[in-house]
Amino acid sequence: MIDRRVQAPDRFRRFSTLNFVLIVALAAILLTSMEQVAPSPKQLADGLPGMANLVGRMLPPNTEPDFLARIAVRMVETFQIALVGAAIGIALSLPIAWCAARGVSPLGRGNVLVKAAISFLRTVPDLVWALIFVASIGLGAVAGTMTIMVDTIGFCGRFFAEAMEDAEKEPQEALAAIGANRPSILIGAILPDIMPSLINSSLFALEKAVRSSVVLGLVGAGGIGQELKVAFDLFQYRNASMIILAIFVIVLLMEVCTDKLRARLQ
């Protein structure tokens, strides 16, 4: 055994001057922003009576059978928008993600263009997409479904592509070595390897689609959001509170179902 003294390394890496300057700058931006846009204690105190008044006018929620039947129909429509939009979006995301994935894409370096397109779909908020589709297709559920579809492609396209890039390389090389072409490598080695990740992302996309679809109605793209907007516009706060409760229940149910599915699949 070699007899020489060794020292333990420093517990923390030393701060470079650049890192220190960056942290100070970030803190300055945060504090300045807080001063300009964060609520002050006075504003919060002044707003409380108004909030209490609104909550009081919302209670008790409207439970008239006719109204409940109407929002049940709207909830079903909301769920349909989410389900169909997410399903089509997930299906389209697979080939798009394949084209976008680095080292896997049949387009070679052209994958960056597809990646940029996916980023664009993701960057534009869903309400903006809804406005675009309402303006082009017209009011109603179809515009909502298109919005969810595009939003899902932006979400799943990115995660599917990342999963494909991270897929195990050895089985891909093994299939390439015996003459498999790119589509064969995709279906034979990549998809089976990333299937749990695909299912996970798809379930998150479905959850997200349900949450998004409830607000699309605010801009006329169908679903329960339309009822919510009408309720607030006409100061029917008891109706609004019932709709908010219904939205809470369906989103919660969706989360419980997808959580259980995820746990089962893993």
- Interaction site with another protein (CB under 8 A): 168, 170-171, 173-181, 183-185, 187-189, 192-193, 195
Q: Is the Cβ–Cβ distance between 202 and 242 less than 8 Å?
A: no
Nearest-approach distance from CB 266 to another protein, in angstroms: 12
Shortest Å distance, C-beta 98 to another protein: 14
Please return the burial class of 80, using the count of CB atoms within 10 Å of its CB with bins 0-12, 13-18 and 19+: middle
Residue 8, helix vs strand vs coil: coil
Whichever of 87 and 175 has its CB closer to another protein, that residue is 175
Nearer to another protein, 169 or 229 (CB): 169
* Cα 56 to Cα 53: distance, rounded to the nearest angstrom: 5
> Cβ of residue 191: shortest distance to another protein, in angstroms?
8
CA–CA distance, 230 with 83 (Å, rounded to integer): 24
Residues 129, 151: contact at Cβ < 8 Å?
A: yes
**Choice between 59 and 178, CB closer to another protein:** 178
Residue (119 or 197) nearer to another protein, CB? 197
Cα Rg for the chain, rounded, in angstroms?
25
- Structure tokens that stand for 227 in this block: 């009822």
Least CB distance to another protein at residue 187 (A)? 5
